[in-house]
Structure 1
Amino acid sequence: MTSTTTFPGAAAPAAQRTLGKRDYQTLGLSALGGTLEFYDFVVFVFFANVLGTLFFPADMPDWLRQLQTLGIFAAGYLARPLGGIVIAHFGDILGRKRMFTLSIFLMSLPTLVIGLLPTYTAIGIAAPLLLLAMRILQGAAIGGEMPGAWVFVAEHVPQRHYGMAVGTLTAGITGGILLGSLIAVALNSWYTPAEIHDWAWRIPFILGGVFGMVSVYLRRYLEETPVFQELAERKKVARELPLKTVLRDHRKAIVLVALMTWVLSTAIVVVILFTPAYLQKVFQIPAKLSLQANLAATFTLTIGCALVGWASDRIGTKAVMLIGWGGLFVTTYLFYLGLPGTAASLVWGYALIGLFVGSIALLPIVGVRAFPPAVRFSGLSFAYNMAYAVFGGLTPVLISVWQKYDQMAPAHYVAFVSVLGFLIGLWPFASRGWQPRG
């Protein structure tokens, strides 16, 4: 059975064409940029402890230093809505390509600056303040990049390959986590803790900034999306504030995307970002082994995103949502109930749950087509970033508090949102998307 869902806004004559050279170039450059930009955003996590010791006073209590470091990390999430709304606003008015290029520049520059920042011992309180400012810029950039990338690719590719293209792009974006994990493992293997503390921590940030600038240059070869070009030619580009139209006419789509963002943010934050520290703290699993297992899960997550996109084109979005989120529910308890297990069971169990976390690719597949073309960028960006700021920011706090009373808290929370994702799959609008009236 194939999906019969249409992608509103796609040019009819091109709907059934196959992927061409230009499509592959668009997808490749978009995925590469997404990988580098998301790497720039998450690499902070892998070196948070080092940054905490370098950018805050040495006599500060460990718990307070950790709290303030996590606060700076969270600032990136809180800045996402503002950056996403502003970038999306101009993306719906001036074009997708311009904002798509701007977002990666706004991410690369502060990442490079972080790698060059003086520490607290050199400039005092200005060090954490500058770090906070750069993190806010990163958050604003990622808020525009991810929805922009999804819309840009979705409006370029033929309808029959819509799911595969969006899923592959999402795989590229999550590949940024994989890249960050690989570099963290490599640096901890090549350098001593003292060397990392003294200077080697700068390497991942400088590399991210430089490679990001290269991606900015490469994006000049991308073309504006056919959907936006058609809107401009027919003078149907949003004339009033796009967000105003979204809030007035597309509340159902906002709710859909917000709920799916809750599922996505929980899966990423808990399973991929939170669990390595959880394994070390609760089950005394060595840091090296927990990072290796996390690397396996991140790798299968990347594969899972591409598989979900491919499957949605073949058997339909509804079926993939039910299989994907149902599978995440089952593998969540298989993994967490089996801890600590053996080294082999840890890696394989983590890899299996990572594969089903790949169901997060369903968010852009569903979300892009939930809004009409004229306000698509603004609608997706607003709903996604507002929900991520809330759920992505609160999830670590919720899990940390809950875990004091039940060490299975991560499993229960991921299982809960898996059920939510399954139920969303039964909502016809999730599969159908926005349809023009009449």
Structure 2
Amino acid sequence: MSIDYTIPGVAAPHAATARPLSRFKSIAAITVGNGLEFYDFVVYSFFATLIGRLYFPVSDPTGQLLLSFATFGVGFLMRPLGGLLIGMYADRVGRKPAVALTLWLMGLSSVIFVVTPTYAQIGMLAPIMILLARLVQGFAIGGEMGASTALLLEYADDRSRGFYTGWQPFSQGLAALFGALVGLLLSNVLEQQALEAWGWRLAFVIGILVIPVGLVIRRRLEETAPAAGEPERGSTLQLLREHGRALVASILLMIGVASSTYIVVYYLSNYAVSQLHMPLSLGIWAACVAAAVQVVLSPLAGWLSDRVGRRPVVLWSRVALLLMIYPAFVLINAEPSLTRLLLVVGCLSVPMSMTSPASMVLVSEVLPQRMRATGLSIAYCVAIAIFGGFAQFFSTELIHLTANPNAPAFYVIGCGLVSLIGLAMVPETLGRRLS
């Protein structure tokens, strides 16, 4: 008996559709849709300190921040499950129905953020609702990552896969930049009382627009997954059995991406508020700079990996970041200022932005097409769930335990060294034909 994997209201992947988009418009459609979803997820980070005060009844400011960051991290724990289930759905039914499903889920989570009263209004139900919204977000993003990256890779030819895949981190950087600018606008235009009462919710109202906008811009994409029923479609058990080494290596590689991205792009904004004692309106500028660098360099890094190879770009960018990260924290703590903070973030963002696209295409190319979305989702989401989602929590706790404000650098260094083990486990894939 066959199982119908289609979603009501979502067209079957191989049904007749409107005239397909050009490659340029296809990249734009995938990138914008992916960015809209990541916007929903990352905007929470920029309001983490504020949400901690509103929803977590802990008198200690450090405890509030830790609970807020823990809730941020809990959303990542759902990523592996979402990546596995939606990745399987994408490999069996198609990439397009999978990304449509994730759009609907992200819209639902934004509605919960917008309508949930604070702890002072409804008690313990408030943090429970916030936690539920983060779980839904995590599940959706877990599935989005594998399906959208597979779409980008499979639209490319053998000489441009790095460049195409580079638009995935570009879209994440674009989402972070947009989210940071929204947070910056709200924190500067509104009085603190208005921002805490209702202003921060406006950022999530924008996220509700994900559903109609995302579905419209993606409806004409061509399906790239194998046709339903083709014998080459693989199972998750087959992926683990036949490609276990590649999957482990991929997870290790993505640990380096996760730790560096979530420390440089997201954590340093909150670090500026909690450790450097800057106002939120200034701290968010750090995220703006990091995201802008990521937007500019991601396609370039993907293009470079098409010219010199995936492994050299990953290796030298990781090494550069490991050498820079501790002196960077020492510098901003020696004389805290907005100028010094932005300079440090801008410098750290260069190797961070270079390593991500090359890592993603390397991971993508070692997996066969019939299991690519599932494998990508598992590798990315397992690494992100622990080493990205809880990066801010671990860093804050390290500072608390060691009384060393530079302690987050040790976290990035440790994760970076582990990721180099994964790099040593995979071959160079430049020029390899996709299965």
TM-score by length of 2: 0.86
Structure 1 residue 140 displacement after superposition: 0.3
Q: Which residue of 2 aligns with 1:368?
A: 364
- Post-superposition offset of 1:207: 0.9
Once the two structures are overlaid, the 10-residue window that deviates more, 66-75 or 27-36, is 66-75
Looking at structure 2, the residues matched to 70 and 290 of structure 1 have their Cα atoms a distance apart, in angstroms, of 16
Match of 1:377 among 373, 380, 383: 373
One-letter amino acid of the structure 1 residue matched with residue 367 of structure 2: F
Residue pair 1:27, 1:169 contacting (<8 A) in 2 also: no
CA separation of 1:62/1:281 partners in 2, compared to 1, >3 Å: closer, same or farther? closer
Give the letter aligned to residue 366 of structure 1: L
Distance 1:175 1:54, change over 3 A: same
Post-superposition offset of 1:419? 4.1
TM-score (norm 1): 0.86
Q: 1:423: how far off? A: 5.4
Structure 2 CA distance for aligned equivalents of residues 62 and 343 of structure 1: 23
CA distance in 1, matches of 2:279, 2:81: 39
Q: Deviations over 1:111-158 (max 9, x none)?
A: 133112233344433332222222111110000011211111111122
Residue 388, structure 1, aligned to residue 381, structure 2: no
Change (3 A) 1:260 1:88: same
Partner SS for 2:209: helix
Q: Number of residues paired by the alignment?
A: 411
Question: What is residue 410 of structure 1 aligned with on the other side?
Answer: 408
In structure 2, the residue corresponding to 1:155 is in which secondary structure? helix
Contact 1:32–1:215, Cα closer than 8 Å, also in 2 = yes
Mapped contact 2:169–2:294 kept (Cα < 8 A): no
Aligned pairs (5 A) from 1:28-427: 28-57=28-57, 62-225=61-224, 228-229=225-226, 232=228, 234-238=230-234, 242-340=235-333, 341=335, 343-358=338-353, 359-403=355-399, 404-405=401-402, 406-422=404-420, 424-427=422-425
SS in 1 for 2:219: helix
Q: Deviations 1:172-230 (Å, cap 9, x if unpaired)? A: 122111111111111011101101112111101011112443112322121201xx24x
Between the aligned partners of 1:113 and 1:354, the Cα distance in structure 2 is 32
The alpha-carbon deviation at position 102 of structure 1 amounts to 1.0
Q: Which runs of 5+ in 1 are unaligned?
A: 1-19
Amino acid at match of 2:114: G
Return structure 1 stretches of 4+ with deviation > 6 angstroms: 432-437
CA distance in 2, matches of 1:64, 1:349: 28
Cα deviation, residue 424, structure 1: 4.5
Taking a change above 3 Å as real, the CA distance of residues 356 and 154 of structure 1, as seen in their structure-2 partners, is same
Distance in 1 (alpha carbons) for counterparts of 2:241 and 2:356: 27
Aligned 1:418-437 pairs, distance under 5 A? 418-422=416-420, 424-429=422-427, 431=429
CA distance in 1, matches of 2:191, 2:358: 41
CA distance in 2 between partners of 1:222 and 1:133 (Å)? 31
Q: CA RMSD for the aligned pairs? A: 2.6
- Identity score, percent: 28
Question: Is the CA contact 1:256–1:430 (under 8 Å) kept in the aligned structure 2?
Answer: no
Matched residue SS, 1:407: coil
**Whole-angstrom distance in 2 between the partners of 1:367 and 1:290:** 34
User: What is the SS of the residue equivalent to 1:429?
Assistant: coil
Give secondary structure in 2 for the equivalent of 1:118.
coil
Question: Is the CA contact (8 Å cut-off) linking 2:116 and 2:126 kept in structure 1?
Answer: yes
